[in-house]
C-alpha cells in the first residue's frame, strides 16, 4: 500500500510554492517544540480532482470547511498550536464569524472634515462582534499558534499532508492529526488525463477513475507513527456508519474515527475507538444558543490524547 502511495506522489505535479510551504511548516513546528506546546494538524475542506490538464472541469468533494475551522478555534482554546491545511476559499478560523456579512457592508466611509476620525471605520453595530473575534485572533497570531496552508487539488492535498505529517512526527506523541477534510477516493492519473478541454461535440462523456491509494496506511505506519491520529468517516446511510468507522480503525490501527452523517453532522457525531463508541449530540436549543459540537469533540479528544501521552 505504501509503495502504491509513493507511486501516486511521484506521478503528481509539485504543488505551487511547495518549498516555501515546507519551510514554513517545519519552522512552525520547531517554534512549537521550543515552547513545549502540543500541535495539531487540522485538515479541512474538500479536494478537487481535475478532469483535464488545462483544467476547466473537475470533481469536488463536499465540505464547506466548518468542521475544520471551528475545531481549530477550540484546539487553540485547549492550548494546541494548529497547522490548518485547508482548501483555498473554504471557511477559515476566526474569519468564519464574519462570513455571513458582506465585508463591504460592515464598513462605513466617514466625512473627510472630521479630525482624528479615520476615513473608513467599522459600523457601530458590528464593533463588539469584531472586537471579540479580532482580539482572540491577534493573540493567537502573536503567540504564533496558527499556520495556514492552502491546497486545491487532491494531489496538492496529499503532498502537503505528507510533509505536515513528517514535520508533526518531530513533536512525538504531543502531536495530533485531525483529518476532517473531505478527500476524494477517485482520480485520473496524469498520463490518462486529456490535456485540453473535453469537447461536448465528441458526444456523452464517459470517464474512468482510478482508486486513490489509502493515505492513512503510510501516515500511521511510516510518516507519523508516534502521533495521535483522528480520522473522520462521512456517510449518508446510517446503517453502515459505525461498521465503516470500525473497519477503518481495524485496517489502519489509528486511535479514533469520528463518524458523522452528512445531514446531521452539526448535531451528532460518534467517537469510535477500538473498544468504545461515544455519541455526542446537541439539541436544537443548544444549537440556537450558539453551542458548537466541535467544542465537545475537541474536549473529548484532548482527554483521549492525554491518556495516549501518559
Q: State in angstroms the smallest separation of the CB of 180 from ligand 9Z3.
A: 5
* Site size for ligand 9Z3 (CB under 6 A): 15
Taking a C-beta distance cutoff of 8 angstroms, is the pair 234, 305 a contact?
Answer: no
Residues 55 to 94: which contact ligand 9Z3 by CB under 6 A? 63-67
Q: Which is nearer to ligand 9Z3, 158 or 171 (by Cβ)? A: 158
Q: Which residues contact 114 (CB under 8 A, 6 or more apart)?
A: none
Q: State in angstroms the smallest separation of the CB of 258 from ligand 9Z3.
A: 7
Q: State in angstroms the smallest separation of the CB of 51 from ligand 9Z3.
A: 19
Considering only CA atoms, which of 98, 117, 95 is closest in space to residue 108? 117
User: Is residue 179 within the footprint of ligand 9Z3 (CB under 6 A)?
Assistant: yes
Tell me the C-alpha distance between 183 and 49, whole Å: 10
The only residue of 96, 260, 282, 293 in contact with ligand 9Z3, by rule CB under 6 A: 260
Q: State in angstroms the smallest separation of the CB of 128 from ligand 9Z3.
A: 26
Residues 189 to 248: which contact ligand 9Z3 by CB under 6 A? 231-234
C-alpha 144, offset from chain centre: 19
DSSP strands (E only) in 74-208:
80-87, 107-109, 120-122, 146-151, 175-179, 186-187
User: Is residue 153 within the footprint of ligand 9Z3 (CB under 6 A)?
Assistant: no
Rounded to the nearest 10°, the torsion over CA 84, 88, 92, 98 is 170
User: Is residue 183 within the footprint of ligand 9Z3 (CB under 6 A)?
Assistant: yes
Residues that bind ligand 9Z3 (CB under 6 A): 63-67, 179-180, 182-183, 231-234, 260, 265
Amino acid at each position: 500500500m505504501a509503495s502504491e502511495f509513493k507511486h501516486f506522489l511521484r506521478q503528481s505535479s509539485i504543488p505551487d510554492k511547495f518549498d516555501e510551504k515546507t519551510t514554513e511548516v517545519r519552522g512552525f513546528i520547531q517554534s512549537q517544540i521550543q515552547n513545549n506546546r502540543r500541535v495539531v494538524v487540522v485538515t479541512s475542506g474538500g479536494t478537487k480532482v481535475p478532469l483535464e490538464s488545462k483544467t476547466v472541469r473537475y470533481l469536488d468533494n463536499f465540505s464547506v470547511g466548518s468542521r475544520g475551522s471551528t475545531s481549530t478555534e477550540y484546539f487553540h482554546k485547549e492550548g494546541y498550536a494548529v497547522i490548518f491545511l485547508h482548501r483555498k476559499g473554504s471557511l477559515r478560523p476566526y474569519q468564519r464569524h464574519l462570513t455571513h456579512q458582506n465585508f463591504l457592508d460592515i464598513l462605513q466611509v466617514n466625512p473627510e472634515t472630521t479630525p482624528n476620525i479615520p476615513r473608513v471605520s467599522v459600523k457601530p453595530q458590528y464593533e463588539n462582534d469584531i472586537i471579540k473575534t479580532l482580539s482572540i485572533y491577534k493573540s493567537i497570531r502573536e503567540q504564533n499558534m496558527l499556520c495556514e496552508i492552502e491546497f486545491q487539488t487532491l494531489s496538492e492535498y496529499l503532498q502537503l499532508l505528507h510533509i505536515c505529517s513528517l514535520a508533526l512526527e518531530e513533536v512525538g506523541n504531543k502531536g495530533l492529526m485531525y483529518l476532517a477534510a473531505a478527500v476524494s477516493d477517485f482520480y485520473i492519473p496524469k498520463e490518462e488525463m486529456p490535456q485540453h478541454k473535453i469537447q461536448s461535440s465528441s458526444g456523452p462523456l464517459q470517464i474512468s477513475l482510478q482508486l486513490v491509494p489509502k493515505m492513512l496506511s503510510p501516515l500511521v505506519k511510516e510518516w507519523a507513527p508516534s502521533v495521535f491520529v483522528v480520522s473522520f468517516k462521512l456517510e449518508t446511510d446510517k446503517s453502515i456508519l459505525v461498521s465503516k468507522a470500525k473497519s477503518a480503525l481495524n485496517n489502519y490501527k489509528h486511535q479514533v474515527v469520528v463518524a458523522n452523517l452528512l445531514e446531521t453532522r452539526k448535531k451528532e457525531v460518534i467517537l469510535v475507538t477500538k473498544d468504545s463508541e461515544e455519541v455526542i449530540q446537541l439539541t436544537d436549543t443548544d444549537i440556537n444558543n450558539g453551542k458548537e459540537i466541535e467544542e465537545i469533540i475537541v474536549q473529548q479528544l484532548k482527554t483521549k490524547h492525554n491518556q495516549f501521552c501518559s
